[in-house]
Amino acid sequence: MSEWRNIWKKSIETCGKAITSQYVTEEFTQLRNTVTADNSKPYENDRMVDFEEGIAYECIGKIKNAIEIYKKVSGPDGLPVKHWKHRAELFLQRAIDKQNGKLFSEHFKDNYVTLDLSKNESLETIQWDAFYDIHSFTNIPNHIRYLAISSMSRIDSEPEMAIVIFRTCLEGLVRFIYPDEYEINENNKKTLGPLLVSLFNSEKLFSRGNNKDFKRDVCKIIKDRGDDAAHGNDIDYNSKYLCETIIDFITIFETASNYIRNNNIK
């Protein structure tokens, strides 16, 4: 793993700890003071560490602190890569909107029912709000959350790869939540599909809700779209397709996070 990606991964992990503990300054101070084997402090002055700290503050409702950091990382001395600086600008504007009283529904999809999903600006909005939201689902195991965050950041530029990893995240969640059923399925050399069907029919699948049609269940949709991407099937990765994929994926993450919390799964 490259040094940059390792720094980002540790920053995401620290962000999760900070959201859970509510001690954002303390958690990130500890990360910045980390000394590695070569006697260096790689996290000390990294702007991605700062960006993740801003996300942590926003997630716990300390919007003023988040705005201060977003201003820093989107400014002239902020994130060194142009497209990441633009993303920080989007986070800054959303935080300012929140500070000014603009409310967002607790249900991700409800925030976008009036948007034209075929427009690229809609994709940008949904993509980066989803990127933020995944950080807040701290009940999800860190390695799954990191994969989801990393893939969400590039679904616009590398949609096939991102959607394949979304499917991998789904399988990871099923394995974490239903380890016995997953092991039996593996021992029988069956793929994810039959396991999802079995869990759905037994009313165990965490995304089922009031839906009685497995063909419309978000777990099946993400599984199928991940398979399409992995197998190189002829898919038009247009804005509408990607927006709908993100919304379904976030539905999985939100319901899985709630399921893990409510059932005290460790």
According to the 3-state scheme, what is the secondary structure of the chain? CCHHHHHHHHHHHHHHHHHHHCCHHHHHHHHHCCCCCCCCCCCCCCHHHHHHHHHHHHHCCCHHHHHHHHHHHHCCCCCCCHHHHHHHHHHHHHHHHHHCCCCCCCCHHHHHCCCCCCCHHHHHHHHHHHHHHHHHCCCCCHHHHHHHHHHHCCCCCCHHHHHHHHHHHHHHHHHHHCHHHHHHHHHCCCCHHHHHHHHHHCCCCCCCCCCCCHHHCHHHHHHHHHHHHHCCCCCCCCHHHHHHHHHHHHHHHHHHHHHHHHCCCC
Mean pLDDT in residue range 197-207: 93
> Mean pLDDT score of the chain, rounded to an integer?
94
| pLDDT at position 2 | 63
* 157 located within any domain: yes
Half-sphere exposure of residue 60, counting CA atoms within 13 Å on the CB side?
19
Same domain as 257, residue 149: yes
pLDDT tens for 116-128 read 999 999 999 999 9
The lowest-confidence range among 63-77, 140-154, 168-182, 207-221 is: 207-221
Residue 210 confidence (pLDDT) above 90: no
Question: In terms of pLDDT, which residue wins out, 107 or 158?
Answer: 158
Closest by Cα among 97, 120, 146 to 253: 146
Structure confidence by residue, pLDDT tens digits, 223-236: 999 999 999 999 99
Q: Residue 140 and residue 183: Cα distance in Å, rounded?
A: 20
pLDDT (0 to 100) of residue 231: 96
Q: Residue 102: pLDDT band by 50, 70, 90 thresholds?
A: confident
Average pLDDT over residues 39-65: 96
Predicted pLDDT of residue 266: 86
What is the pLDDT, as a whole number, of residue 4? Answer: 85
Find the mean pLDDT for residues 65-87.
96
Structural domain of residue 84, as residue ranges? Answer: 3-103
pLDDT digits (tens, 9 = 90+) for 182-196: 999 999 999 999 999
CA distance 84 to 81: 5
Q: How far apart are CA 150 and CA 21, in angstroms?
A: 23
Note the pLDDT tens digit of each residue in 15-33: 999 999 999 999 999 999 9
185 lies in the same domain as 94: no
24 lies in some domain: yes
Q: Is the pLDDT of residue 163 over 70?
A: yes
Task: Give me the number of domains the chain comprises.
Answer: 2
Using the 3D structure, point to which of 103, 128, 162 is the last residue of a domain: 103
pTM (2 decimals)?
0.94
Q: Is residue 140 part of a domain?
A: no
pLDDT at 215: 94
What band does 211 get if pLDDT is binned at 50, 70 and 90? confident
Residues 248 and 152 in one domain: yes
In a domain, 225, yes or no: yes
Residue 143 has pLDDT above 90, yes or no: yes
Q: How far is CA 224 from the centre of its chain?
A: 19
Same domain? For 83 and 165 the reply is no
Residue 111: is its pLDDT beyond 60? Answer: yes
Same domain, yes or no: 75 and 162: no
d(Cα 219, Cα 157) in Å, to the nearest integer? 23
Question: Rounded CA gap, 220 and 200, in Å?
Answer: 10
Instruction: Decide which of 202 and 109 is more confident.
Output: 202
Q: Is residue 159 part of a domain?
A: yes
Residues 165 and 235 in one domain: yes
Cα 148 → chain centroid: 4
| Residue 6 predicted with pLDDT over 80 | yes
Same domain, 156 and 249: yes
pLDDT at site 107:
77
CA distance 119 to 115: 9
In the prediction, which pLDDT does 105 show? 75
